[in-house]
């Protein structure tokens, strides 16, 4: 159902109440005339003066105000699941990671009126999860931004973040508020790097770089959290990778307009990697590469590699820890994963002399 799950306060100081509830309950509470009280969750009394009594206006008066509040509502849900008008924005992000099931559609970022996303106080009948993070408007944006990985959307969101931060006294309050808070933790489903960047943006405006988070969520023992953090860091130092949970490396292809990233951990053989790359870059290659990708995976690696190397114009190489460009396929898979920093699908013409030898090696190995 189409539910305004989160209301957003207006810049003029009307702070909306965030209700992570169904609209029916919102209706009923309005009917009962209950007043949603401001809750000063951060213990910052100076912010508690925001008038909350206009909540009932906001929900049905969203058309009346100059700000299009409906569009600025943060909603929980899949992109496009509730609001058709957002589709155009979501197309940007829908191409990838749909299975990540982003929680917040991006539309607030597209809407220039998003200053009202900044709310000083969590308030009211229900302290929603997002309320708990209200001290971090930047963080909130990061949450919104974070949901989908593609960078284009991030860039635009970052711009809108900085735009927002200059508007509204509430913004200023928040920035003061943020350093005092002890809230540090926040669940996150995707792209920590994304939100870190947003955090960096907020740094420019004086707030600390939040991992804008909720204290104690997810409920993992701090001992466990600290342990995993330190052991992953060790692994990072050892591998130079972004954590042992995934091993993303950039894949560039000569002539392609943009690069891709693959998680080497999801493959266990060169064959897997090769077919995945073929699929990924098939849209850029003319001829055999693409068609081979379609045919199927159980083909012998030798013929595949040969095709990739010979039949098409490309050679798969990687940059190792020492910075040298090596032909993929020489070393055992495990060792390859340990040393590979990035991949490059090189034009055969650049790899003259390399390809034939590679085929020989593969033939002898297979």
Partner 1 sequence: MCVFQSTINYFPEEVLEHVFDFLSSHRDRNAVSLVCKSWCRVERFSREKVFVGNCYAVSPERLLSTFPRVRSLTLKGKPHFADFNLVPPDWGGYLHPWIDAMVKARANLEELRLKRMVLSDDTLDLLAHSFPSFKSLVLVSCEGFTTDGLAAIAANCRSLRELDLQENEVEDRRGQWLSCFPDSCTSLVSLNFACLKGEVNLAALERLVARCPNLRSLRLNHAVPLDALQRILAQAPHLVDLGTGSFVHDPDSETYHKLKNAIQNCTSIRSLSGFLEVASRCLPSIYPLCSSLTSLNLSYAPGIYSNELVNLIRHCKKLERLWILDTIGDKGLGVVASTCKELQELRVFPFDPHGVGYTAVTEEGLVAVSAGCPKLNSILYFCQQMTNAALITVAKNCPNFIRFRLCTLNPTVPDAVTQLPLDEGFGAIVQSCKGLKRLSVSGLLTDQVFLYIGMYAEQLEMLSIAFAGESDKGMLYVLNGCKKLKKLEIRDSPFGDVALLADMGKYETMRSLWMSSCEVTLEACKKLAMKMPRLNVEIINENEQMEASTDDKQKVEKMYLYRTLVGPRKDAPAFVWTL
Positions 52 through 91 that interact with partner 1 (CB under 8 A): 76-78, 81-82
Binding-site size for partner 1 (CB under 8 A) equals 71
User: Tokens at residue 130, please?
Assistant: 């997002």
Q: Which of these segments, 34-42, 112-120, 302-310, 351-359, binds partner 1 (CB under 8 A)?
A: 34-42
| Closest CB to partner 1 among residues 159, 261 | 261
Site for partner 1 in 123-162 (CB under 8 A): 124-132
Q: How would you classify residue 240: left for phi > 0, otherwise alpha for psi between -120 and 50, otherwise beta?
A: left
Contacts of 106 (CB under 8 A, 6+ apart): 79, 86, 89, 90, 92, 93, 144, 145, 147, 148, 153, 157
Site for partner 1 in 99-128 (CB under 8 A): 99-101, 103, 124-128
Between CA 245 and CA 229 the distance in angstroms is: 12
Candidate residues 56, 57, 172, 185; the one interacting with partner 1 per rule CB under 8 A: 185
CB of 305 to partner 1, least distance (A): 22
Site for partner 1 in 202-221 (CB under 8 A): 211, 213-221
The packing angle between helices 151-165 and 192-204, to 10°, is 30
The packing angle between helices 270-281 and 288-295, to 10°, is 120
Residue whose C-alpha is closest to residue 312's, from 270, 361, 357, 346: 346
Between CA 1 and CA 22 the distance in angstroms is: 9
CB of 288 to partner 1, least distance (A): 30
Q: Which of these segments, 61-69, 200-208, 228-236, 355-363, binds partner 1 (CB under 8 A)?
A: 228-236
Site string for partner 1, 287-316 (x = CB under 8 A): ------------------------------
CB of 213 to partner 1, least distance (A): 7
> 165 and 205 in contact (C-beta within 8 Å)?
yes
Between CA 21 and CA 18 the distance in angstroms is: 9
| Closest CB to partner 1 among residues 76, 209 | 76
Site for partner 1 in 312-351 (CB under 8 A): 334
| Closest CB to partner 1 among residues 150, 244 | 244
Candidate residues 30, 37, 310, 341; the one interacting with partner 1 per rule CB under 8 A: 37
Site for partner 1 in 244-283 (CB under 8 A): 244-246, 248, 263, 265-266, 268
| Closest CB to partner 1 among residues 207, 214 | 214
Between CA 250 and CA 244 the distance in angstroms is: 16
> 131 and 90 in contact (C-beta within 8 Å)?
no
């Amino acid at each position: 159902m189409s539910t305004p799950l989160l209301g957003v306060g207006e810049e003029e100081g009307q702070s909306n109440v965030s209700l992570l509830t169904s609209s029916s309950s919102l209706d009923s509470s309005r009917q009962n005339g209950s007043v949603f009280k401001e809750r000063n969750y951060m213990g910052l009394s100076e912010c508690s003066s925001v008038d909350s009594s206009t909540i009932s206006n906001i929900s049905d008066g969203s058309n009346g105000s100059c700000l299009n509040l409906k569009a600025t509502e943060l909603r929980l849900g899949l992109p496009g699941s509730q609001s058709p008008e957002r589709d155009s924005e979501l197309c940007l992000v829908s191409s990838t990671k749909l299975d990540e099931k982003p929680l917040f559609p991006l539309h607030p970022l597209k809407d220039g009126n998003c200053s009202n996303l900044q709310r000083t106080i969590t308030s009211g009948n229900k302290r929603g999860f997002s309320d708990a993070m209200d001290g971090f408007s930047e963080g909130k944006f990061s949450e919104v931004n974070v949901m989908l990985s593609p960078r284009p959307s991030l860039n635009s969101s970052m711009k809108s973040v900085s735009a927002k931060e200059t508007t509204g006294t509430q913004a200023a309050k928040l920035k003061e508020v943020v350093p005092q808070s002890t809230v540090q933790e926040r669940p996150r489903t995707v792209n920590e790097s994304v939100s870190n960047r947003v955090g960096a943006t907020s740094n420019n405006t004086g707030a600390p770089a939040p991992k804008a988070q909720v204290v104690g969520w997810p409920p993992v023992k701090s001992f466990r959290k600290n342990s995993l953090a330190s052991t992953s860091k060790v692994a990072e130092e050892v591998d130079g990778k972004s954590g042992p949970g995934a091993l993303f490396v950039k894949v560039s292809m000569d002539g392609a307009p943009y690069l891709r990233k693959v998680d080497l951990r999801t493959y266990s053989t060169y064959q897997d990697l090769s077919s995945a790359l073929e699929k990924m870059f098939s849209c850029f290659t003319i001829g055999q590469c693409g068609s081979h990708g379609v045919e199927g995976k159980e083909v012998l690696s030798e013929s595949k590699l040969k095709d990739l190397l010979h039949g098409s114009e490309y050679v798969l190489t990687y940059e190792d820890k020492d910075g040298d460009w090596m032909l993929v396929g020489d070393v055992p898979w495990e060792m390859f994963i340990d040393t590979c920093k990035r991949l490059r699908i090189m034009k055969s013409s650049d790899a003259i002399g390399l390809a034939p030898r590679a085929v020989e090696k593969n033939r002898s190995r297979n």
